[in-house]
Amino acid sequence: MENEETLGKIISHITRDLHQYFRHCNPAYDIGWGQLRILIVLYHHEGLTQEALARELALDKTTVTRTLQKMVNKDLILKQPNPQDRRSHLIHLTQKAKDLSQSIHETKLKANERLAKNLTQDELDTLYALLLKIKANAAEMTREASHEQS
């Protein structure tokens, strides 16, 4: 019997539910899913260029640029000229964004625990391995589609 739900649909539902969970746990922040993803990357690698952020998050530059502008308006990030390349900017966290770090980290851990509830360690290990394979397949599929359009 075939599954009625596609992998993409299941992953989309999980992502939507995670986004809603983060918003529910931190309603005062008014941080969208894309902004949250950027903050999490910057907490680990502050000072990236917009291009590096786009690559890291597998997003197009236009989406990243729009999201970063929203974050500048909310006083979450600063865009500073890159001394090595004046055409690009380095993205730095503001103190406001740094102050959110602990709460976001705790919410992320709690969400991960809730998602893994009732799974054994072997099941989790298998799930991670399978998801990494699916992620690699998705990246390959995207690369192939972009080459076909070129």
CA dist 44 and 144 (Å) reads 30
Task: Note the pTM of the prediction, 2 decimals.
Answer: 0.77
List pLDDT tens digits, range 84-134.
Answer: 988 889 999 999 999 999 988 999 999 999 999 999 999 999 999 999 999
The type of residue at 6 is T
Domains in the chain, CATH or no CATH each: 7-117 (1.10.10.10)
pLDDT computed for residue 31 by the predictor: 87
Is 71 within 8 Å of 38 (Cβ atoms)?
A: yes
Q: What is the pLDDT at residue 143?
A: 85
Is the pLDDT at 71 greater than 80, yes or no? yes
